[in-house]
A and B are shown apart, each in its own frame.
Chain A
Amino acid sequence: QSAPTQPRAVSGSPGQSVTISCTGTSGEIDRYDYVSWYQQHPGKAPKLLIFNVDKRPSGVPDRFSGSKSGDTASLTISGLQAEDETDYYCCSYSGSYTYVFGTGTKVTVL
């Protein structure tokens, strides 16, 4: 399977909102409601932010929210903070118990 496409980079000022898109290449995002989002700081393992399109695990701030429309999922970070500057990846179930991560987006806080 090909990786869902994410913008290479997005940026915003502190307090603003940014949205990262994740567009499927094989219809997997449209077909299944199993999109998750991960935050990864340099040298660290990915951290789960969102699962099942729009569900937040306990402990994840409500500044992070997820949504989906057709074959594109989105992660929105509201009230952008300095510590949000890092890499973000989407991941989608792609059938037959397989999964595919997105291409990744670097968020810069201006």
Chain B
Amino acid sequence: EVHLVESGGGLVQPGGSLRLSCSTSGFTLSSYWMHWVRQAPGKGPVWLSRISTDGSSISYSDSVKGRFTISRDNAKKTVFLQMNSLREEDTALYYCTREVIVGVSAGDAFDIWGQGTMVTVSS
């Protein structure tokens, strides 16, 4: 069965850093583009970042560009999100999600989601 399990969340002060991990199982990670999405309490999801199968192509939303870094280790079946210069508005549940494959290409939608890891930025 396909699973994504996020970890690394917690309470951090403004300006601090956290590194989130997304451990995958049940599929070949190296075949899939992966994403991070967050959701603040009571709000809708917000897309953050995308990484290609081999890590050579990466993109970010304007809200986190320059502060967050996505990476992956296919051998360890894990995707990461390094978060620096954290702000109170970064407080949210952070999801790792897999991009669907349509035919032989990435499909611009998210078919598998983890349960999320909570990040709270507060002094």
Contacts and interface: CB of A to CB of B under 8 A. Distances in A.
Interface of A: 1, 3, 32, 34, 36, 38, 40, 45-48, 51-52, 55, 57, 87, 89, 91, 93, 96-104
B116 to A, nearest CB: 6
Contacts of A55: 102
27 contacts: A36-B108, A36-B109, A38-B45, A38-B110, A45-B115, A45-B116, A46-B45, A46-B95, A46-B113, A47-B113, A48-B109, A51-B107, A51-B111, A55-B102, A57-B100, A89-B44, A89-B45, A91-B45, A96-B59, A97-B50, A97-B57, A98-B61, A99-B47, A100-B47, A101-B44, A101-B45, A101-B46
B114 interface: yes
Contacts of B113: 45-47
A52 B109 contact: yes
A105 B5 CA distance: 27
Binding site secondary structure of chain B:
strand
B45 A48 contact: no
A52 B102 contact: yes
A99 B108 contact: yes
Contacts of A104: 44
Interface in B57-105: 57, 59-62, 95, 100, 102
Contacts of B60: 98
Contacts of A100: 47
Contacts of B46: 101
Given A45-B113, A51-B100, A96-B59, A101 B47 contact: yes
Interface in B33-65: 35, 37, 44-47, 50, 57, 59-62
A47 B62 CA distance: 25
